[in-house]
Structure 1
Amino acid sequence: MTALAVLDIAGTTVDEQGAVYTALEGAVRTAGASPSTTDIQRWMGADKKEAIAGLLENGTGQPPHPSVVESGFTDFHARLDAAYRSRPPRPLPGVPEAIAALRAADIKVALTTGFDRSVVDGLLDTIGWTSGVLDAVVCVDDVPAGRPAPYMIFRAMERTGVHAVADIVVAGDTRRDLEAGHNAGAGTIVGVLTGGYDVTDLGAVPHTHLLPSVADLPGLLGVAVPAQAATPSASSAE
């Protein structure tokens, strides 16, 4: 029996037009490295400060000074804020209805993210996911380490009062999302194809299902979505 759905934010439940990775690449280039698209992709879903440090080390061949990482992180924040002001994030199609259906079926819903709290609070306020929409939101700065460590999932369990990892479903659009679910021992690990990875990429990581979108999650779990709220989508669970 599923008691908790732990969902990623960017690319999984929220469409932010890839702004986070454009901002990440811009900040790292300004700090002195020249990451490729593949380099950026390796850090999708990660703690953004950790990503900056890793990309700089990969580009220069040596660990960056902490002050350089902090400066890059500040630059990343500024770039992301500007992007969000220009093109505000929005929920992915069918996701608000799916979240509401899960909660109506007594399945708690928590969001986890590689963003820090200062980014997340503004993002959720922009899309209207404030009081009463979610059961918990866990940010990377709430835990000792980001994905693929399982700590954000465990913190979500703690905040929602769920005790058994077998009773949780973890869903995300990146390899790190699925790796975190696997490391947590989640009963159901779902890759969704609304982000930067395709079936081949996500299929190479331990998982239980691949779906087109979180909008298909209620169907996978046997939860009905009210007809007036349903969003057509062809499920491809495997």
Structure 2
Amino acid sequence: MPIELMVLDMAGTTIEEYGAVYEALAESVTAAGGKPSEADIQRWMGAGKREAIQHLLEEHLGHEVEEATVDAAFADFRARLDKAYRDRPAVPLPGVPEALARIRAAGVKVALTTGFDREVTESLLNTLGWDDEVVDAVVCVDDVPAGRPAPYMIFRAMEATGVHDVARVLVAGDTIRDLQAGTNAGAGYVVGVLTGKLDAIGLGAERHTHLLPGVADLPTLLTS
């Protein structure tokens, strides 16, 4: 069935940000009293960052965390991430701009989804120089009631681009939650890309239709 829309994750999927988001997440949770392991952080890859902070703190503190504590930890995360992005700006992953151009030239729409809030997302897009000449829509975690693995960002991307049939939607990402969101949405194509922290074994264990080296390879699916 022809693809009408590709819904792509940002960090680790379409952009290289050198792991800054996960370093900032681990550091902010630790500063707030948590003790997250690398495996703990990996479990929250692709999730909304405020949600991740709250759950990581509650898992390690053993009780519900007050909203003010989560707010403070999230503000600390944002400050750490902002500094990391100023020190080492994000860049497109190799071949991604060319792939996006080919996909859109074929008449397929492209939407980005992210666990970042709108402010962080807009800053990243400005750094990259990506506007509506590069992608058709951008959906952030604060645009929907819940982040991944909920499918809501995918549905919002469909709404924004006028696509009605989820069977004609391709969802791609580098995390387990990206794939879970695609499956929960009922997307016709659920594609894992190996440009993030997970290898083919780790990412391939989750339900998917395709595993590819990266977004640069997505145009090959246009004729499948």
TM-score under structure 2 normalisation? 0.98
Q: Which residue of 2 aligns with 1:31?
A: 32
Map residues 75-224 of structure 1 onto 2, 5 A cutoff.
75-222=76-223
CA–CA distance in 2 between the matches of 1:57 and 1:168?
36
| 1:23-74 Cα deviation digits (max 9, x unpaired) | 0001000100010000000000000000000100111111211111000110
SS in 2 for 1:25: helix
Identity of aligned residues (%): 65
Q: May I ask how many residue pairs the two structures share in their alignment?
A: 223
Question: Shift in Å at residue 220 of structure 1?
Answer: 2.2
CA–CA distance in 2 between the matches of 1:133 and 1:214?
14
TM-score under structure 1 normalisation? 0.93
SS in 1 for 2:223: coil
Question: Shift in Å at residue 219 of structure 1?
Answer: 1.0
| 1:141-183 Cα deviation digits (max 9, x unpaired) | 0000000000000000000000000000000000000000000
SS in 1 for 2:132: coil
Question: Shift in Å at residue 103 of structure 1?
Answer: 0.3
Question: Is residue 54 from structure 1 mapped to residue 55 from structure 2 by the alignment?
Answer: yes
| 1:72-106 Cα deviation digits (max 9, x unpaired) | 11000000000000000000000000000000000
| Structure 1 runs not aligned, ≥5 long | 224-238
Question: Shift in Å at residue 133 of structure 1?
Answer: 1.1
Q: Which residue of 2 aligns with 1:234?
A: none
CA–CA distance in 1 between the matches of 2:152 and 2:173?
15
CA–CA distance in 2 between the matches of 1:138 and 1:131?
13
Q: Which residue of 2 aligns with 1:4?
A: 5
Which sits farther off after the overlay, 59-68 or 6-15?
59-68
Q: Which amino acid letter does the alignment assign opposite residue 62 of structure 1?
A: H
CA–CA distance in 1 between the matches of 2:221 and 2:5?
14
CA–CA distance in 2 between the matches of 1:125 and 1:143?
22
Question: Shift in Å at residue 131 of structure 1?
Answer: 3.4
SS in 2 for 1:191: strand
